[in-house]
């Protein structure tokens, strides 16, 4: 009964039924790895897609002595190239240093401002409740984005902080999740475009002792898309945990 009531009063919209989307990543490359097939599909459909990258990725290397500013510039260029391949409208980089040593509340308000400016119908971010996730940037990004999503709908706060009108997106979608409730159908061409975008990140994916990291990551993504699609009668699919505003505050029902 609870499941029926929740679906009636707080339905989750179809992910490709909206027009404007904001994808939030802890580092350059996380959006493409976690939701690149969906980004490719939405752009192919003519939707408006924006990227927001929280940290600078300054520690994305195995080197101990290197020019951090140079690596940051490389990683931002890789993200812009990837976004161009996918068809993303805009890419914004926040100034937070890779490694999690920053104020989560500050991130929350920066994300909130972006939501109020762009006015997306859907917001995507990493699942901060993934039980095995230990990376502080992922946890902070997921929590900050979730709080920003909720606070964006509070009129007084939106005006007091930014002089902007409130905005309430229709759905918050977690990628990198182990508790999906939405299986978004994609096509082979979307999966291929995801792989093309990920190849932009030459600084991150190396061949180490004969092991091609990117090759096997793409194979794994293809396997997951096939497994998710077949088990839910969708051919190929990416998995998300989707929430609406009503499901994000004082909500005690254990329903997907």
Band the pLDDT of 245: cuts 50, 70, 90. confident
Band the pLDDT of 183: cuts 50, 70, 90. very high
Residue 153 · residue 245 · CB < 8 Å: yes
pLDDT of residue 249: 75
Q: Examine the pLDDT at 122 and tell me if it is beyond 80.
A: yes
- Mind listing the pLDDT tens digit for each residue in 211-220? 788 899 999 9
Residue 79 · residue 28 · CB < 8 Å: yes
Give the CATH superfamily of 2-247. Answer: LmbE-like (3.40.50.10320)
Q: Examine the pLDDT at 92 and tell me if it is beyond 90.
A: yes
Look-up of token digits 């600084």 = 203
Q: Examine the pLDDT at 222 and tell me if it is beyond 90.
A: yes
pLDDT of residue 238: 98
pLDDT of residue 200: 95
Least confident of 56-65, 107-116, 185-194, 214-223: 56-65
**Distance from CA of residue 216 to its chain's centroid?**
21
- Over range 76-92, report the average pLDDT: 98
pLDDT of residue 63: 82
The domain spans of the chain are 2-247
Let me know how long the chain is. 256
Nearest to 247 by CA among 2, 5, 10: 10
pLDDT of residue 209: 75
pLDDT of residue 255: 61
To the nearest 10°, report the CA torsion of 243, 227, 233, 247. Answer: -10
Q: Examine the pLDDT at 111 and tell me if it is beyond 70.
A: yes
Q: Examine the pLDDT at 34 and tell me if it is beyond 80.
A: yes
Residue 177 · residue 240 · CB < 8 Å: yes
User: Could you give the percent of the chain with pLDDT greater than 90?
Assistant: 81
CA–CA–CA angle 26, 27, 31 (5° rounding): 80
Cβ-based neighbours of 129, under 8 Å, separated by 6 or more: 142, 174, 177, 179
Average pLDDT taken over every residue of the chain? 93
pLDDT of residue 234: 94
DSSP element (H, E) containing 2:
helix 2-9
Cβ-based neighbours of 51, under 8 Å, separated by 6 or more: 23, 25, 31, 79, 83, 88, 90, 91, 92
Q: What is the DSSP letter of 99?
A: T
CA distance linking residue 25 with residue 175, whole number of Å: 10
**Total-model pTM:** 0.94
Q: Examine the pLDDT at 248 and tell me if it is beyond 80.
A: no
Least confident of 59-63, 148-152, 161-165, 177-181: 59-63
Q: What is the DSSP letter of 240?
A: E
Task: Pinpoint the alpha helices (H) of 152-243.
Answer: 155-162, 188-198, 213-231
pLDDT of residue 251: 73
- Over range 71-76, report the average pLDDT: 96
Q: DSSP of 61-88, one letter per residue?
A: SS-SS--HHHHHHHHHHHHHHHHHHHT-
Q: Which two tokens stand for residue 46?
A: 């003519």
Q: Examine the pLDDT at 247 and tell me if it is beyond 90.
A: no
- Over range 36-51, report the average pLDDT: 99
């Amino acid at each position: 009964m609870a499941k029926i009531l929740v679906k009636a009063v707080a339905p989750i919209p179809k992910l490709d039924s909206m027009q404007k989307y904001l994808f939030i990543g802890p580092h350059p490359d996380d959006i493409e790895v976690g939701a690149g097939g969906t980004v490719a599909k939405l752009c192919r459909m003519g939707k408006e897609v924006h990227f927001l990258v929280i940290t600078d990725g300054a520690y994305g290397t195995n080197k101990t002595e290197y020019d951090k500013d140079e690596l940051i510039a490389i990683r931002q260029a890789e993200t812009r190239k990837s976004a161009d391949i996918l068809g993303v409208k805009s890419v914004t980089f926040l100034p937070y240093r890779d490694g999690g040593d920053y104020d989560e509340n500050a991130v929350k308000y920066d994300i909130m401002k972006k939501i109020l400016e762009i006015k997306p119908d859907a917001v995507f971010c990493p699942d901060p409740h993934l039980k095995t996730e230990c990376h502080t940037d992922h946890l902070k990004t997921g929590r900050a984005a979730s709080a920003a999503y909720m606070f964006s709908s509070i009129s007084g706060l939106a005006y007091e902080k930014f002089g902007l009108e409130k905005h309430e997106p229709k759905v918050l979608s977690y990628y990198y999740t182990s508790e999906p409730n939405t299986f978004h159908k994609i096509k082979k061409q979307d999966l291929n475009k995801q792989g093309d975008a990920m190849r932009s990140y030459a600084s991150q994916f190396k061949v180490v002792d004969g092991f091609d990291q990117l090759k096997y990551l793409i194979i794994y993504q293809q396997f997951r898309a096939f497994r998710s699609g077949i088990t839910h009668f969708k051919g190929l699919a990416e998995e998300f945990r989707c929430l609406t505003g009503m499901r994000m505050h004082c909500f005690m029902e254990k329903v997907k």
